[in-house]
Amino acid sequence: MLLLFDIDGTLLTGATRAHSEALDRAIREVHRVDPAGIRTQIAPAGRTDGEIARLILLDLGVSARRIDELTGDVQEACCRIYAQICPPDLSDHVVTGMPDLLAWLIARDGVRLGLLTGNYEPIGRLKLRRAGIGKWFASAPGAFGSDSEDRAALPAIARRRAGHVPREATIVIGDTPRDIACARADGVRCVAVTTGQYGADELSGADAVARDATELRDVLEAIHSSAS
């Protein structure tokens, strides 16, 4: 069973300030436009970094062609700047109970942890290391915002990197309706958690909804037992 965890809102909460600043600074550096005031008009939850950058730039009048041409430059600048300004300790942003859950999961036979996040990969992995939970994902397969702007494309990428894991053995774990939508796009299951900004009613399209890490363990244990 491949468990693909989202990062922001699922494993960590409130750890996006430096990330947002890095993306804004990258946009200024590469495109010479100011995103101040535009970001507040875009709901970033569940979006990839590339999609967020594109929406900001389109609102600022930058052509789609120029956005495409400089996508790699924005990504490189964002990751470089984030590495410079990321707080050295993000441990206070880890969702309560998540380290115990990850330790329990990694010890289960037939369970493999992975990542599925809109973060550019260097940013996502640095966040987890600084939060003290990167050790559970150090060699984990996954898919990231650096792989595609379209979150719906990420589950298939993650399954392929994990060794072509079948859809029926894959579960996306996230906190937004976009996590559910990307799982549905690939025909895999989704367990939603209300540790982010969305409540259970807004996440009702998932196969199951958990309020916290304790409930998430119960849900995953039931799924694992039924598959054994």
Distance CA 7, CA 72 (A): 22
Euclidean distance between the first and the last CA atom of the chain, given in angstroms as a whole number: 10
Report the candidate in 114, 46, 104 with the shortest Cα–Cα distance to residue 220. 104
Same domain, 212 and 149: yes
Instruction: Report yes or no: 73 and 32 within 8 Å, Cβ to Cβ.
Output: no
3-state secondary structure of 33: coil
Same domain, 104 and 152: yes
Same domain, 133 and 77: no
Same domain, 74 and 104: no
Per-residue pLDDT at 64 exceeds 70: yes
Same domain, 22 and 121: no
3-state secondary structure of 86: coil
- Partnered with residue 116 across adjacent β-strands are 143
3-state secondary structure of 82: helix
Same domain, 78 and 105: no
Same domain, 123 and 179: yes
**CATH code, domain with 199:** 3.40.50.1000
What's the pLDDT tens digit per position in 9-58? Answer: 999 999 889 999 999 999 999 999 999 877 667 888 889 999 999 999 99
Amino acid at position 149, single letter? E
Please state whether the predicted TM-score (pTM) of the whole model is above 0.85: yes
pLDDT of 44 reads: 84
What's the pLDDT tens digit per position in 157-209? Answer: 999 999 999 999 999 999 999 999 999 999 999 999 999 999 999 999 999 99
What's the pLDDT tens digit per position in 199-220? Answer: 999 999 999 999 999 999 999 9
Report how far apart, in Å, the C-alpha atoms of 113 and of each of 124, 126, 141, 185 are: 15, 17, 8, 21
Instruction: Report yes or no: 50 and 123 within 8 Å, Cβ to Cβ.
Output: no
Containing structural domain, residue 56: 17-85
Per-residue pLDDT at 114 exceeds 80: yes
